[in-house]
Structure formats: structure tokens, C-alpha cells
Copies of this chain bind each other. A is one copy, B any other.
């Protein structure tokens, strides 16, 4: 019985052990793939000076930020891991080797209105490649390849990585002679296009001063279909001459070429990724059977990571898996389940305290073999101990009673099959 209200705050989560084990397994798989691709881990602070964190951020972020009281300096909790990475690179660039391929798996905080699937404390798994100066576009393809391998490994079913290019999109909109402000607004309308009807899409664009005939041109561009080669061919024949379009198209072409052996990487001009710091490649990952969940992993190219923190230029490409959000969404639809593997391999049960020494010795031996081993201590009737063993849920139990100890043996019982074997004590 509880004395006070101890429930976690809205937007904060306490996972039960068997769910935590699954969460940790998934996190481990993602980290292992980061490392396999040669990304190296850093761990940045959670707390920064408020002005430093918000140097680049817009209004929404400012509203969502958690502020801290401590002395005179205004502090805040990080709301993502990209700003901390920019600060880290600015602080340590002279000690780092570039391209700096970096993995960050950690928590961030956003005090948004807690709605379905939105958590205020959440884990993100970020992979970024930072170049000192220019960074070849092949790294964009590498990050996409990394995400391909991660989601193949995680086995959530068929997925599609939808790829586009912000530079190309901007070049296209410039060719329509949209003004800067209109252009930004149009990108943001396209960003939400899949959540609204065609009618709403048209109304919003008209309100943004985009003419009916331009809307149709835009629609044709966004709906380009076919193989990646088909789409590249169609983009090419559009024969748009401005620099952004040309560069964006070249980048897309290179990425498609590098990723030719990844059939689920698909060009899709609908993808723009809302965040305005993306400048080139953008991509997101969808589960084919669950489009409503939205993207489970996305990212893109940014021109200058350290804008606000260093006068040196650092180009980068990065992408993130919103681990907590994904875990919540896929748990809800049954794609993620609590760990079915037992968390403990062997539970050693000394029947009485006289067998405790032998039990400890057996446990040590089994641990040396790499097993996860618990010993059930305390005096209780044997039936009571077996009840406890059942609740604790180990894969098997090892029983040492007077008879066993006298004969230098123990009984090993598989808790799933019920099979019992006799083994020798070392």
C-alpha cells in the first residue's frame, strides 16, 4: 500500500524489468551497429547554460525547455543531442580526428504537452559524421546504409528508407520564382502534406500566394514515382538550371549509385524533414506495414554544425532513432514484447544453510562459464523455495540438498521442459 503518490510524472516512464531488458537489448543492437560502422561513442552533459543551448533554437523549443535553478547562471536540460555535439566539437576540435564519426545514445528532455507517444524524458540514438570543412556526400550514403543495417537487424518487418534532398527541393521552388518567405512556408506545408487532405494542401498553398498552376507543377514534382533510376531520369529531363537544383540532383544521383544494392532505399520527393537546419540529403525510415507510426529513424545533411559556437566550418550529416518513442509505439502494436528470454540463467537453491557454501561455489563456477547465476538464500521449507524459484523465473534451477552434497552432485532442473538431470559438483 502506498502512502503518497509516487507514480512517475506524466511523460516519464518506469519500465518493468522484462521490458527494460528488451529496451536495453534494442539499444545494444543499435550501439553495436554504430561501432561496427566505425562510429565512436561520446557522452555529453545533460545540463548547459540556457543561452548556449538556445543559441540556434526557435520558439517551440524555447517553450519546451526545462530550466534549472542553481546560483545565478540560467541553466537548462538539453532537448536533443545535436546542440551538445556542436558544443563538444567546438570545445575539442583540436583533439579530434576528422571526419569525426560519433555515436551518442542518451536522454534528452522536452516539456511538451504529454500526448500519445510523446515522452518528456526520452532516449535518442544519434549517429553523426562531422567533417572539418567539406564532407563528401558518400558519408550521407553511409549513414543511410547504417540505418538500413540497423533496421534489418532489429527485424521489425519490411521497411523503406525514403530519401530526398533539401537543396534540390529549394532549387525547384526557386525555379518557380517563389520568394524566400513563401519558399520556406511551402517547404513546411510539404512537410505536413501527408497528414492533410489534397484539398487542405491546395488551400494552404493558395493562402501562401502559390498560384494554381504552380501547385500542379509542385504536385507533379512531389509525386514522381517509379524506380530510383526512373525518378532520376525524370528529374534530369526537367532541365532546371539553377545551381541548387544541379548540386542537389548530383548528390541524389551519387547516393542512389552507392546504395544500388539496397532495394528498400527509395527516392521520394515528399520527404523534406521539418527541421530547418537540414540543407542537403534528407531521409526517413517507415515500417511498410505501419505507416501511421510515422518515421522511426531519420536525418540529413547540415552545412555547419557549429555555427553559433565556432568560427570554423564543420559540415556534417547525422541521423537519429527516437528510441523511446519507437519503443512505445512498437510495444503498443505488439511488435516489441517483453523479453521472453529469462533474465537469469540458473537459480541455485541450497535446501538448507548447510549447503550454502557448496551453492556459492557452484554459482561461482557457473558464472565463470559466462552464465547469469543467482543463489536463493534463507531458511524456508523446500516447497516454499520452489514457489519462490518459480516466481523468480530463471531458465533452470540447481538444487543442492543434504543427499546431493553428500554425493558431490546437484540436480539441474530445466524450468521450461521440467526435465531434471544430475550433475557433478566441481
Please list the residues of chain A having a beta carbon within 8 angstroms of any beta carbon in chain B. Answer: 1-9, 12-17, 20-21, 23-24, 35-38, 40-49, 52, 55, 66-71, 73, 75, 77, 87-88, 90-92, 95-98, 101-102, 107, 109, 111, 121, 135-136, 138-139, 142, 145, 258, 308-312, 343-344, 347, 356-357, 360, 367, 370-375, 377-379, 388, 391-394
Contacts and interface: CB of A to CB of B under 8 A. Distances in A.
Contacts of A101: 374
Contact of A310 (B3, B21, B73, B96): B3
Given A1-B312, A12-B47, A24-B41, 6 more contacts: A2-B310, A3-B308, A9-B75, A23-B43, A47-B66, A138-B356
A367 B37 contact: yes
Determine how many copies of this chain the complex contains.
2
A257 B390 CA distance: 29
B347 A38 contact: yes
A275 B1 CA distance: 27
Nearest to A129: B377
A343 B40 contact: yes
A272 B87 CA distance: 43
A88 B16 CA distance: 9
Given A9-B49, A45-B14, A2 B378 contact: no
Given A16-B95, A91-B14, A1 B310 contact: yes
Lowest 6 CB-CB distances: which A-B pairs, in order?
A: A38-B374, A138-B377, A136-B378, A97-B391, A12-B45, A136-B377
B97 A258 contact: no
Contact of A17 (B23, B40, B46, B135): B40
A87 B47 CA distance: 24
Contacts of A71: 111
A2 to B, nearest CB: 6
Given A309-B4, A377-B139, A367 B258 contact: no
B20 A374 contact: no
B66 A41 contact: no
21 contacts: A1-B311, A4-B52, A6-B87, A9-B48, A9-B49, A9-B73, A12-B45, A16-B95, A36-B367, A38-B372, A40-B343, A45-B121, A46-B46, A46-B121, A47-B121, A66-B68, A68-B69, A70-B111, A97-B392, A101-B374, A138-B375
B40 A21 contact: yes
Contacts of A43: 15, 20, 23-24
A392 to B, nearest CB: 5
A75 B258 CA distance: 49
Given A308-B3, A310-B2, A374-B37, A13 B45 contact: yes
A97 B393 CA distance: 9
Nearest to A86: B6
Nearest to A138: B377
A122 to B, nearest CB: 11
A114 to B, nearest CB: 11
Contact of A36 (B21, B109, B372, B378): B372
Nearest to A257: B357
A309 B41 contact: no
A232 B17 CA distance: 40
Given A20-B43, A138-B356, A258-B360, A2 B309 contact: yes
A258 B364 CA distance: 13
A281 to B, nearest CB: 14
A97 B111 CA distance: 34
Nearest to A111: B70
